[in-house]
């Protein structure tokens, strides 16, 4: 090592050992300076410091708020890409009454908690309308979205109608049907009400085969029984789907006609008091965690984190 660098290294080592800190940034004595932002005088011992501590904290909070809004916007866009919009965004598992459908609720919860090693692979929720099949399917997708895994919700009759009415059939199939082969988890809602053509039946078989080969979960909801669902899937797709599937028959009772009035129960470990901006956006802050951290920005139990 050259002599000059060795001398500099020895000087820095002796400086740190003596407790003086960084000789390049620390002042020899405190100085009174004027803040470049608010204009108030403050005492500093660091050479590059141009803002007082209150302005520094204010900018940090501003950056954290900007990061929160950015994450909320990105999450909302992901939910829209998944097909979770409007009313579906509030269909979380925490808002579903387990007492009304215990078997279906436990099966969906088992798949949500066992991710990314799903068990069971496929789920069929069968029964009359209004029994909570759509709510459970969307609740599964929202629960997985909280962990960073984004699936896809598909209202099957609407999907088939969109493909049939498209001017460019190949473009519609590429946009609407092709992603179903590789999505992490899909919910095919209300199957069996559509009129399938031979071409669309081929697409159905291709989708089910691709998901069976990749081991990706598929949730099907229908106003059918198990035999009718087997006939709708066809021999090949039914063999793949039911090879590792949990079939749940929903208990009768239209919850839409008879809504159950339940008292609001906050989620565990909820923060105590939201700030003004967070309350307006459906957020609450937890003061036990530092500003800008993910743990500080928890879900608001009143809207259940639809902005996250």
Residue-range domains of the chain with CATH: 91-249 (3.40.50.300)
Q: Residue written as tokens 């009129």?
A: 195
Q: What proportion of the chain, given as a percentage, has pLDDT over 90? A: 27
Mean pLDDT for the stretch of residues 249-265: 64
What gap in Å lies between CA 151 and CA 144, rounded to an integer? 8
Question: pLDDT value at position 302?
Answer: 44
Question: pLDDT value at position 206?
Answer: 94
Q: Cβ atoms within 10 A of the Cβ of 8, count? A: 12
| Residue predicted with more confidence, 269 or 216 | 216
Question: pLDDT value at position 138?
Answer: 92
Mean model confidence pLDDT for the chain: 78
Mean pLDDT for the stretch of residues 123-134: 90
SS3 label, residue 95: helix
The full DSSP string for 56-103 is: HHHHHHHHHHHHHHHHHHHHHHHHHHHT--GGGGG--GGGS-TTTSHH
| pTM, entire model | 0.64
Question: pLDDT value at position 301?
Answer: 44
pLDDT digits (tens, 9 = 90+) for 54-108: 888 888 888 887 878 888 788 888 888 888 887 888 888 988 888 888 999 999 9
| Residue predicted with more confidence, 49 or 179 | 179
């Amino acid at each position: 090592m050259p002599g000059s660098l060795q001398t500099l290294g020895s000087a820095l080592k002796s400086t740190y050992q003596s407790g003086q800190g960084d000789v390049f940034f620390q002042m020899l004595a405190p100085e009174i300076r004027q803040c470049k932002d608010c204009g108030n005088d403050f005492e500093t011992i660091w050479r590059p410091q141009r803002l007082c501590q209150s302005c520094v904290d204010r900018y940090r909070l501003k950056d954290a708020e900007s990061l929160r809004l950015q994450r909320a916007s990105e999450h909302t866009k992901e939910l829209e890409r998944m097909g979770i919009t409007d009313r579906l965004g509030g269909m979380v598992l925490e808002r579903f009454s387990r007492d009304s459908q215990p078997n279906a609720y436990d099966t969906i919860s088992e798949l949500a908690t066992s991710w990314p090693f799903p068990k069971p692979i496929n789920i069929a929720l069968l029964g009359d309308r209004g029994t909570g099949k759509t709510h459970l399917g969307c609740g599964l997708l929202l629960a997985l979205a909280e962990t960073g895994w984004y699936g896809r919700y598909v209202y099957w009759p609407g999907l088939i109608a969109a493909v049939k009415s498209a001017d460019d059939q190949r473009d519609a199939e590429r946009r609407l049907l092709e992603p179903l082969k590789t999505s992490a988890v899909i919910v095919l809602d209300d199957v069996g009400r559509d009129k399938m053509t031979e071409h669309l039946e081929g697409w159905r078989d291709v989708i089910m085969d691709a998901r069976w080969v990749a081991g990706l979960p598929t949730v099907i909801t229908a106003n059918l029984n198990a035999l009718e669902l087997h006939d709708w899937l066809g021999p090949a797709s039914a063999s793949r789907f039911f090879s590792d599937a949990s079939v749940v028959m929903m208990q009768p009772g239209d919850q839409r006609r008879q809504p159950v009035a339940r008292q609001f129960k906050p989620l565990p470990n909820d923060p105590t008091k939201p700030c003004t901006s967070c309350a307006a956006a459906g957020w609450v802050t937890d003061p036990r965690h530092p500003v800008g951290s993910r743990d500080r920005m928890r879900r608001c139990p009143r809207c259940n984190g639809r902005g996250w």
